[in-house]
Amino acid sequence: MTIAGWAARVQGLLADLRELSRLGDADAGVIIDALIALAAEGREQAEELEDRQRQVQWLRAIYAISRRTAVWMPVWDLSRSDDLSWDLVDVELDEPLESAVQQVRDDLVVTGDVVGWNAFLMLDEVLEQGQGGNPATRAILSQRLMSRLEWHNLGDEQSQWLKRESIEQLVAAIRPWAQRAVDYAALMNQLEQQESNAIDLAAVDIASAVQTLRFAKSPAAVKVSAQINTHYRNANVRFAITERFIELMIPAIEPTSVPVNTQVLGARVSGVSQIQSDLDIDLEPSSDRWSLKLNANGRVETDSIGKQGFVSIRTAASAKFDAATHIEVTKRGMSLGDADAQVRSKTRLRGVETDYDGWPLVGTLVRSIVEDRYREMVPQANRIANREAQIRIESEIDSQLGSRVDQAAVKVSEMVLGPLGRLQLDPQVTDMQTTDERLLARYRVAGDWQLAAFTPRPRALSDSLMSVQLHQSALNNTLEQLISSKEPISIRDLIRDSAARFGKADVGIPDDIPDDVMVQFARTRPITVEIEDGRLWLTLRVLRLRRDEGIDLTQFIVRVGYRPEMDGMNARLVRDGHLRISGPRMAMRERLPVRAIFNKVFAANREIPLTVPQLTENPATAGLFVSQLELRDGWLAMSISEEGAARIALRQE
């Protein structure tokens, strides 16, 4: 089957579907099933294409069909049932609601944090809505509260506490509030709007419908919510790190000297141990977590003197050790296994000194007796020394590993995610995986009322040591939460606050940006990022801009483009082209001062770095380079590879 033949069959089925008069038509199910089969058939053939460009285009079309049919089918099933929609439920405040709230408050006493839990469960708001709320505000409150009970960052103990009977009674009282009518035809149209324009405000309506259906009583309605959640709220940050990259980032361990002061078989032993060790990582495949083994391999050389009574024995010991600690990272957190060390040592006699060494014959006899006794005791002494060394090595690894792993996690987050790692966005881990070569993780950066990624991400190069894919929705969802639209802010404060959130408190603000320029952004989508056709577009929707000198402009848009550049380990976005200023009633003379102000904010010589200094300036990255920097379909994809590695056209998922 050719690509053209496959596309013609898809278009024919879509035309047949559009001709149907209603969602519940029996023929709709047959057509959707045929589209699902065509998508599967096309995917199998697309993966065999050698032409990468044609393969990407075909796969994009296949995924577009697959995510639509994943939603269409449960909607079709639901449209043929009796519970297509709900009647709005208007629940009046009654004794059970008051009792449920009071019972929860009584249970909170034992937590020691009544105020915190009361705010988390929004108990005051529940009573307030019960007394005087309307169906719309009640629905939002009910959905928010039930979402909080399933918050991914709750600890095991907190989740267990929330399963108590009083919480269940409270949920039973407010669940009817969440049940609002859903217009499925309108929902399908909103999804199509989202497909054609990811910045469209239809995203708000879609996310709201997902929350409504999520808490429905109908399993079919819940399935619609789950499919939209899977395909239109997909992970929007993904990264992979190879075992090789982790080992490069592990700093070399300098040789250390440790004093020896112990007692063996009644003899006081003192001296110095020289320790040399190396670390390496073994990844252990797992489908739902990061699982790795940290190996410490080394040698201990010890010169010591043992004294007992009138005898001193000088020895040289050489011990090899292999220690291993298992590390597991799950969505819930990290766990460290106990260190397990194996020690193998050899000891040789370097000399014997006694108080009788100056006595002819007697000194020789005493030394001979001591040496014979030493040889008899060597096996037992070695066992004791091995055991003590094992305990000491395991204890040292256990004591230092926790803090070092925490430091490494922060360092890797900084190097891999760069500025995003400092925003404390509370991303949700959607899945984790360990393969023979890589640690993989995918995150969703989105609130309950926000969408996320829905287009297929660019694939990373198969020989990459590290790769990151970032969808524009992660940035847009973040900007929507960070940028205040309630009141004006000065341009200087905007730059300063934004830079501080990205960890640059000492950012230099151009001297030519005046202090008296105030800007207020639109309430929805104040600043957005769009990634398409090898460019990143930054759009500012300004409600009002004022300056003391007489500038007072309202309702206009500023748009600026950036293109990617890479050189060795440096990847960056650079200004591309002129600013675009547009407004419904803006004259040319009004655009000039706006252009002058924002040309200073987005100066052509001010780049946006994508690789951080912690990575580019690290000696361990010598010989590495940015091998992929791709901007398309809403995604920014970057890979780092090792110089001299074979370029492989095949890419990994």
Residue 521 has pLDDT above 80, yes or no: yes
Q: Are residues 384 and 493 in the same domain?
A: no
Q: What is the pLDDT confidence band of residue 649, given thresholds at 50, 70 and 90?
A: very low
What phi and psi values does residue 645 have, to the nearest 5 degrees? -70, 150
Rounded Cα distance between 215 and 142, Å, is 9
Rounded Cα distance between 8 and 4, Å, is 6
Q: Are residues 486 and 560 in the same domain?
A: yes
Question: Which of 26-40, 113-127, 312-326 is least confident?
Answer: 312-326
Q: Are residues 290 and 150 in the same domain?
A: no
Between residues 325 and 226, the one the model is more confident about: 226
Residue 88 has pLDDT above 60, yes or no: no
Between residues 210 and 247, the one the model is more confident about: 210
In a domain, 426, yes or no: no
Final residue of a domain: which of 192, 208, 232?
Answer: 232
Q: What is the pLDDT confidence band of residue 357, given thresholds at 50, 70 and 90?
A: low
Burial 407-443 (b: 16+ CB within 10 A, else e): eeeeebebbbbbbbbbbebebbbbebbbbeebbbbbb
Q: What is the pLDDT confidence band of residue 634, given thresholds at 50, 70 and 90?
A: very high
Residues paired with 236 in a beta bridge:
none
Q: What is the pLDDT confidence band of residue 123, given thresholds at 50, 70 and 90?
A: very high
In a domain, 200, yes or no: yes
In a domain, 433, yes or no: no
pLDDT cut 70: percent of the chain above it: 76
Rounded Cα distance between 443 and 427, Å, is 6
Rounded Cα distance between 470 and 453, Å, is 9
Q: Are residues 74 and 12 in the same domain?
A: yes
Mean pLDDT for the chain overall: 79
CA atoms in the 13 A half-sphere facing the CB of 74 = 17
The CATH number linked to 587 is: 3.15.10
Q: Are residues 450 and 393 in the same domain?
A: no
Residue 192 has pLDDT above 50, yes or no: yes
Q: Are residues 325 and 225 in the same domain?
A: no
Task: State the total domains in the chain.
Answer: 4
CB 435 within 8 A of CB 285: yes
Between residues 473 and 156, the one the model is more confident about: 473
Residue 18 has pLDDT above 80, yes or no: yes
Long-range contacts of 97-102 (CB under 8 A, 24+ apart): 97/126, 97/127, 97/130, 97/173, 97/174, 98/127, 98/130, 99/169, 100/166, 100/169, 100/170, 100/172, 100/173, 101/126, 101/127, 101/170
In a domain, 563, yes or no: yes
Q: Are residues 144 and 38 in the same domain?
A: no
Question: Which of 50-59, 356-365, 423-432 is least confident?
Answer: 356-365
Q: Mean of the pLDDT values across residues 331-339?
A: 73
User: Which range scores top for mean pLDDT: 194-203, 209-218, 365-374, 509-518?
Assistant: 209-218
At 646 the pLDDT is 44
In a domain, 44, yes or no: yes
Q: What is the 3-state secondary structure (H, E, C) of 189-232?
A: HHHHHHHHCCCCCHHHHHHHHHHHHHCCCCHHHHHHHHHHHHHH
Q: Mean of the pLDDT values across residues 79-107?
A: 67
Q: Are residues 119 and 208 in the same domain?
A: no
Q: What is the pLDDT confidence band of residue 310, given thresholds at 50, 70 and 90?
A: low
Owning domain of residue 24: 3-86+182-232
Question: In degrees, to the nearest 5, what angle opens at C-alpha 499 toward C-alphas 493 and 503?
Answer: 140
Q: Are residues 369 and 405 in the same domain?
A: yes
Q: What is the pLDDT confidence band of residue 211, given thresholds at 50, 70 and 90?
A: confident
CB 468 within 8 A of CB 638: yes
Q: What is the pLDDT confidence band of residue 647, given thresholds at 50, 70 and 90?
A: very low
- The tokens describing 157, both together, are 């103990």
Q: Are residues 221 and 248 in the same domain?
A: no
Q: Are residues 260 and 286 in the same domain?
A: yes
CA atoms in the 13 A half-sphere facing the CB of 643 = 8
In a domain, 496, yes or no: yes
CB 627 within 8 A of CB 638: no
Q: Are residues 186 and 136 in the same domain?
A: no
Q: How far is CA 284 from the centre of its chain?
A: 20
Residue 67 has pLDDT above 90, yes or no: yes
Between residues 204 and 29, the one the model is more confident about: 29
Residues paired with 228 in a beta bridge:
none
In a domain, 534, yes or no: yes
Q: Mean of the pLDDT values across residues 220-244?
A: 91
CA distances from 16 to 10, 78, 131, 313, 449 (A): 10, 20, 51, 96, 34
Pairing outcome for strands 267-283 and 256-264:
antiparallel
- The tokens describing 194, both together, are 């989202």
pLDDT cut 90: percent of the chain above it: 24
Q: What is the pLDDT confidence band of residue 93, given thresholds at 50, 70 and 90?
A: very low
CB 605 within 8 A of CB 570: no
Burial zone of 616 (CB within 10 Å; 0-12 exposed, 13-18 middle, 19+ buried): middle
In a domain, 606, yes or no: yes
